[in-house]
Amino acid sequence: MALATYASTVGAADWSTCHDDLDRLRRASSDASNAAEEVDQAAQDVESKRDDVESALRYLRICNRDCWYERSRYNSAKADYESAKGDFESKKSDLASGLDDVASRVRDVESSCDYTIVSGTAGRSPTTDRFCALLRRYKGRMNDQRLMETCRQSRSEEDCRKCLN
């Protein structure tokens, strides 16, 4: 009896896949961290460019002669600022994508390692239901409606909601 219990515990998770998924999570997390650093640098660049615009505008306002240089400086600073804002938005989008990848990798780890991370109570999953684990693994890769339809082919809607949430 003890050997059967031990064997079922040992087989509860797919350790090779767990290892691979943790490696993928580490890489995704590193990529997202790098993206966050790029967002921070882009935000600082936007602030700097905004200061340049304000400075150029002050000089343009006090100009009382032919203000070609001041106007040119202001227009250039404004263009640089708009470009920096666009770059910042692009970097934020890249970060959001990276964070989505991390979230997906976390779900993969939860499934393959049979461990709950994001529910607020870390620890072993209360269930070793491999079907639910497989469905959760595809969360974020397939739309939720398709996952629910797949689940309902063999389970009740209530069970599917529990399984997918």
Rounded to 5°, angle at Cα 79 from 75 and 80? 115
Whole-number pLDDT of residue 155:
85
Q: Per-block average pLDDT, block size 10, for the chain (165 residues)? A: 39 79 96 96 97 95 91 96 96 94 90 75 50 76 84 86 81
CA distances from 144 to 31, 56, 108, 141, 148 (A): 26, 51, 16, 9, 6
Cα pseudo-dihedral 109, 110, 113, 114, rounded to 10? -170
Q: Specify the pLDDT at position 13.
A: 67
DSSP-based three-state secondary structure for 138: coil
pLDDT of residue 6: 37
Ramachandran class of 73: left when φ > 0, alpha when ψ lies in -120 to 50, beta otherwise: alpha
Sign (positive or negative) of CA dihedral 67, 70, 76, 78: negative
The rounded distance, in Å, linking the Cα atoms of 52 and 83 is: 13
pLDDT attached to residue 121: 44
- Residue 56: its pLDDT value, please? 95
What are the residue ranges spanned by the domains of the chain? 15-116, 127-165
pLDDT at 136: 77
Average pLDDT, the chain: 84
pLDDT digits (tens, 9 = 90+) for 151-161: 888 888 888 88
Alpha helices in 15-129 (DSSP H): 15-62, 68-113
Q: What is the pLDDT of residue 72?
A: 95
What does the pLDDT look like over 27-51, one tens digit per residue? Answer: 999 999 999 999 999 999 999 999 9
**Overall pTM > 0.75:** no
Q: Tell me, what's the pLDDT at 3? A: 36
| Tokens representing residue 110 in the block | 């939860």
Residue 115: its H or E element: strand 115-116
Q: How many CB atoms lie within 10 A of CB 53?
A: 19
Cβ–Cβ under 8 Å, residues 102 and 32 = yes
